[in-house]
Every structure is written in C-alpha cells, then in structure tokens.
Amino acid sequence: MDFPLSLNPHSPIPLHQQLYEELRRSILTGRLLPQHRLPSSRSLAKLLGISRTTVTQSYDRLLSEGYLETIQGSGTYVCSQLPDELLHSAPVQPGDRPSQSPIRLSSYGDYLAQTSFQLQPEPDQPICFRYGRPAFDRFPLPVWRRLLSRHSRSLDWMDYATDMQGYRPLREAIAQYVGRARAVQCTPEQVVITNGTQQALDLMMRLLITPGDTIAIEDPGYLSAQRIFLSHGAKLLPIPVDEAGLQVETLTKPIAYPVRLVYITPSHQFPTGATLSLPRRLELLAWAEQQQSMILEDDYDSEYRYGDRPIPALQGLSQSYAVIYIGTFSKVLFPSLRIGYLVLPHSLVSITAQAKWLSDRHLPLLDQRVLTDFILEGHLESHIRKMRSFYDQNRQALVQALRIHFGEQITILGDKAGMHLMVRLQTHWSDAELVQRAEQVGVGIMLAQPHYLTPADRHELIFGYSELETAQIQIGIARLAQALYPNF
C-alpha cells in the first residue's frame, strides 16, 4: 500500500470498521483508483500490525458492497466499474462542521457558521398558546382547490415568467387591496412580489446596506429580521418600545453616526402588540426625511384590528420616498404559500426586481394565478372578515380568562390587534420554570425573552390565540393560573 492508513487502536470503533471506512473513503475520493491491486490480507495485516482476521473482515465487506473484486489466482483489486451511486455517496467526515471547516467562507457564510441558529422547537402540549399561525382548519380549502384546478388545466404557467416584478395581474390586485385596506399609496408598477417578508427583507439588505451601516430596530423585536440584518453586516441600534410603540424620541436624539434604516412593525409591534400612535408616526416620518434615512414598514398582521379604526400605514402618510412597505399572506392565508410583496419608491423597483430574479427568478406562476383570482373574486376579504370575528372572540375569551384567573398579577399588552397578545407577570418563578410548570399541566406557553437583544429573564409571555377554540382558552388559562399561583 503506497499511502498511510491511520488506524487508532484506542478508538471505541473496532479496527475492522476503521479499516473498512479508510479503504472505502480512499476509493470514493480517488486515492485508490479502479483496478489498483490491494496487498494480500496477510501482508496488510503484517504491515499494519493487526490480525489477519481484521483485514479479511474489512475486505469481505468491501467485496460484498462492490468496492473490491477478486480475480482468481491474481489477488484483490479496486473494482473497475464502481456504480455511480457509490461515487456520489462520499461519507460526511466527522468534524466537518461549518464552524470548523477548512473551507474559506464569505463574511455572510462566516456569520451563519458562527451563529449557527436552529429552528426552535415549539411547544407541543394538548393546549398550546402558540403564536404566528392562522387557524388552518378555517381556511376555505374548497375555494382554493377550485381555483387551483381551474388554472392547472392550461399549460402556460409552466414556462419561466416573463415579468421580473411578479405576475402583473397579482400586482394589480395587491395594489388595489393595500390601497383599500391599508391606505397605502401605490400603483402596480411599485409592487414586487417576494417569497414572503423574509425575502423582502433580504433583498432590501442587499440593495441598501453596506457592512457597518446602522439599522435601528425595535427592542424587543422580530428575531428573524434581526438575523437577516446581522448576516448582512449591519450594526443594530436597539430602540425601546412602550404601549404607544417605538419610542421615536429615543431614535431622534442626536447620535454620532447616521442611521441608515429603521425597521418597524407599527400596526402590531412584534412581540408587544403595541400600535404606533399617529403623533409618533408623523414624528418618525419627519425625522426620516430630515435624516435621509429609510423606513422598512413590516405590516405583517395589520388586517386584524379590533374595536377602533385602523391607523393608515406609514407608507400612506408619507409625502416622500422614505418608506418601503412590506406585506405578507402568511398570516391572512397560510405561511407555506410563501407570497409577500414590497411596495417600493419608483427608483428602487427595477433593481429590486433584478435582485429577485438573480436570487430565485420568480415564485411559482400557478400559485400567483390562484392567489390573484382569490383576491379578485373577493375571497380574501371575506376570509379576513370571518377570521377577524373568530380571532376577536378568542381574544376576548383570553383577556377575560386572564383577568379572572390572574387578577392583578399580570399586565396585558397589545390586545387591540393581531393574533397574539403579551402578558407581563409578577412572579418569583424564572422564565424556564414558568414554561416547565405550564408543561406539567398540559399547557404550552412561549416566552418573549428571545426577542430581546439582551437575554435575561423577563417574565413576559406571548399568547397566540388563533389556533384554539374558546373553551380550550378558558381551560388552558385556568390550569396555567393554578400551576403558577396555586395560592391565588
């Protein structure tokens, strides 16, 4: 054998297994070429100082898997015709993890390797106050199926799209809808269809942010947005939030460096649920114009407002090009649809469409067509009306149950809009203990803690109420109160 084989006699992996893997890897990576003659089992055993049985065990396995072949009276050879699937199945090296890889990464790759975030497991209890999902079982599936069947009869959605901004009739339908529902001022020419909010934010980072630029964010705020900003090398400037939303006066205090962009969820601040007051909206717009900063307005669940009239979107209040509006169908329809949209100042439209095309060309045309008809035939707004009334019932049941069972021990925040509210507790339990105690009584709760820039126990819970029925909410809150305040 004209290359070293490294076997470790102290490893818990048996020697025959180690030898098998070494030889297999050498064949797959081309260190041992087809028709290469291997030493006899006796001489390899001698060479490596191991028993002959160990070598025969490894050879036998390689023979049976088709890596080696024997030629009668001549010896053992690397198989001359290795099946393709073997050549493509090089094993992942133990330790070949992104953060230790010798492969040189970009600063973007480096950021992901360092932070290495995972999808957080969500609570899975019989009663779960999970947030962020609509009530799937109330989605008008028959209507969607009918539209899908109507559009899939033809073949013309199968080709590449010809419009980099997204399917034109969908852009027209969206422009009308956001004008009506959110007082956004736009034409279809300003709309770019995206793969949800997530891609909209990513595209804006590519086009507007140079590493080192500062982005002001709400603290607490939307974690996924923060991750995108950091991955593009932005510095984050946390701005506190109170019951009227982002504290704009903190943002407008003079600071030594310019703020390139402000990311904000003004309709229903995530996660506190605050609605940015009209005076603050006007103050923020005036400041952005004066500073020549941009505002990224994420209007993710603005459709659900209870009681008082909705405040127009910042985009509609603005007299300038300072606001970029982002909408999504993840909350009003379903998140795996992956359709959202940007409403852009005219000067950004063409480069955004190009960036989108370079990134993933376009969204599936069939889905865009189905959604267009869903909006134009009035199903979207009718569904939103029904869901608003259903969520409102749940919201009222939740607020009432919280008041009855927790009394003065809690403060309820952000219950005027959206699909979740936040609760601040007076408690001696740690955040982890709160979750554990809830689990013990079969109730899943979620903490606000991960959405703060500085990790600490906050005793704040986010209660999603969109996926539950009223009775489950009442039972869940009663059990939770019993688990957290047994003597109350």
Mark residues 308-347: x for contact with ligand PLP by CB under 6 A, - for none: --------------------x-x----x----x-------
**Position 444 contacts ligand PLP (CB under 6 A):** no
**Which residue, 335 or 345, has its beta carbon nearer to ligand PLP?**
335
**Position 467 contacts ligand PLP (CB under 6 A):** no
Stretch that binds ligand PLP, among 8-16, 150-158, 196-204, 234-242 (CB under 6 A): 196-204
Closest distance to ligand PLP from the beta carbon of 48 (Å): 55
Within a 13 Å sphere around the CA of 248, how many CA atoms are in the beta-carbon half? 19
Using the rule CB under 6 A, which residue among 129, 229, 270, 304 binds ligand PLP? Answer: 270
**Position 272 contacts ligand PLP (CB under 6 A):** no
**Which residue, 198 or 318, has its beta carbon nearer to ligand PLP?**
198
d(CA 448, CA 272): 8
Mark residues 146-185: x for contact with ligand PLP by CB under 6 A, - for none: ----------------------------------------
**Position 197 contacts ligand PLP (CB under 6 A):** yes
**Position 129 contacts ligand PLP (CB under 6 A):** no
**Position 190 contacts ligand PLP (CB under 6 A):** no
Closest distance to ligand PLP from the beta carbon of 111 (Å): 20
Stretch that binds ligand PLP, among 35-43, 157-165, 192-200, 398-406 (CB under 6 A): 192-200
Sign of the dihedral through C-alpha 241, 245, 247, 251: positive
**Which residue, 446 or 484, has its beta carbon nearer to ligand PLP?**
446
**Position 265 contacts ligand PLP (CB under 6 A):** yes
**CA distances (Å), 173 to each of 162, 338, 370, 377, in order?**
18, 17, 12, 10
Would you tell me how many other CB atoms lie within 10 Å of the CB of residue 293?
A: 19
The residue whose two tokens read 């909209």 is 200
**Which residue, 265 or 315, has its beta carbon nearer to ligand PLP?**
265
- What phi, psi does 340 have (nearest 5°)? -140, -175
What is the rounded radius of gyration, in angstroms, for the C-alpha atoms of the chain?
29
d(CA 317, CA 374): 28
**Which residue, 268 or 383, has its beta carbon nearer to ligand PLP?**
268
**Which residue, 198 or 315, has its beta carbon nearer to ligand PLP?**
198
**1: CB partners within 8 A, 6+ apart:** 38, 39, 44, 47
Contact 102, 66 (CB under 8 A): no
Sign of the dihedral through C-alpha 466, 470, 475, 477: positive
The residue whose Cβ lies closest to ligand PLP is 196
**Which residue, 333 or 475, has its beta carbon nearer to ligand PLP?**
333
**Position 134 contacts ligand PLP (CB under 6 A):** no
Size of the site for ligand PLP (CB under 6 A): 13
**Which residue, 220 or 316, has its beta carbon nearer to ligand PLP?**
220
Using the rule CB under 6 A, which residue among 177, 263, 300, 341 binds ligand PLP? Answer: 300
Closest distance to ligand PLP from the beta carbon of 198 (Å): 4
Using the rule CB under 6 A, which residue among 198, 293, 368, 472 binds ligand PLP? Answer: 198
Give the closest residue to 324 by CA, choosing from 215, 401, 409: 215
**175: CB partners within 8 A, 6+ apart:** 186, 187, 188, 190, 191, 343
**CA distances (Å), 227 to each of 198, 233, 324, in order?**
10, 10, 19
- What phi, psi does 327 have (nearest 5°)? -120, 160
**Position 298 contacts ligand PLP (CB under 6 A):** yes
**Position 267 contacts ligand PLP (CB under 6 A):** no
**Which residue, 86 or 453, has its beta carbon nearer to ligand PLP?**
453
Closest distance to ligand PLP from the beta carbon of 332 (Å): 11
**Position 304 contacts ligand PLP (CB under 6 A):** no
| Binding residues vs ligand PLP (CB under 6 A) | 132, 196-198, 222, 265, 270, 298, 300, 328, 330, 335, 340
